[in-house]
Amino acid sequence: MKRAISTHKETILRPNSEFERRVIFQYYLDNDIKITEEEREILLQCVAVEPENIGIIGCLLNDNSHLNTLRLAIASTNKSNKKLANLSKELLLNLDVNTADIYYFVEREYESLTKVEVDVTNVYLTFC
């Protein structure tokens, strides 16, 4: 089975495919695979509600956005996936979680959030 995000776009974007996504995402994480621009666009659209998937997406995207900062904060709390937790903590060193928190929970109106933002912020509130 080829485990490319671009090959499995429908699976990545389909609701209720958390396990299938995690297999693909974990493959990327375990093998230190850098994502392509096409894969980045797919991940940016991915609605995930499982904390490990959200965290791996954050590590794969590796950007400085407020949303990705929350993704990495979620990943840093992971107890079972040490590689994910350690990588996310490393990536968080140059980011400000408090600024991202304020952005989403003070400055933004809940009604203006995208589905992706809603799911990430809901999981963030649960785990962080």
Q: pLDDT for 50-97, tens place per residue?
A: 999 999 999 999 999 999 999 999 999 999 999 999 999 999 999 999
Backbone CA torsion sign across 82, 48, 19, 36:
negative
pLDDT above 90 covers a percentage of the chain that reads: 92
Q: Are 75 and 55 within 8 A, CB to CB?
A: yes
Residue with tokens 């991202």: 100
Per the structure, the count of domains in the chain is 1
Query: Does residue 3 sit within a domain?
Result: no
pLDDT band (50, 70, 90) for residue 3: confident
H-only helix segments in the chain: 9-13, 18-30, 37-45, 51-61, 66-76, 82-92, 97-102, 115-127
Question: What is the arithmetic mean of pLDDT over 99-110?
Answer: 96
Domain that holds residue 119: 9-127
Query: Does residue 72 sit within a domain?
Result: yes
Query: Does residue 2 sit within a domain?
Result: no
Question: What is the arithmetic mean of pLDDT over 121-125?
Answer: 97
Q: Could you tell me which residue, 18 or 121, shows the higher pLDDT?
A: 121
Backbone CA torsion sign across 80, 92, 28, 40:
positive
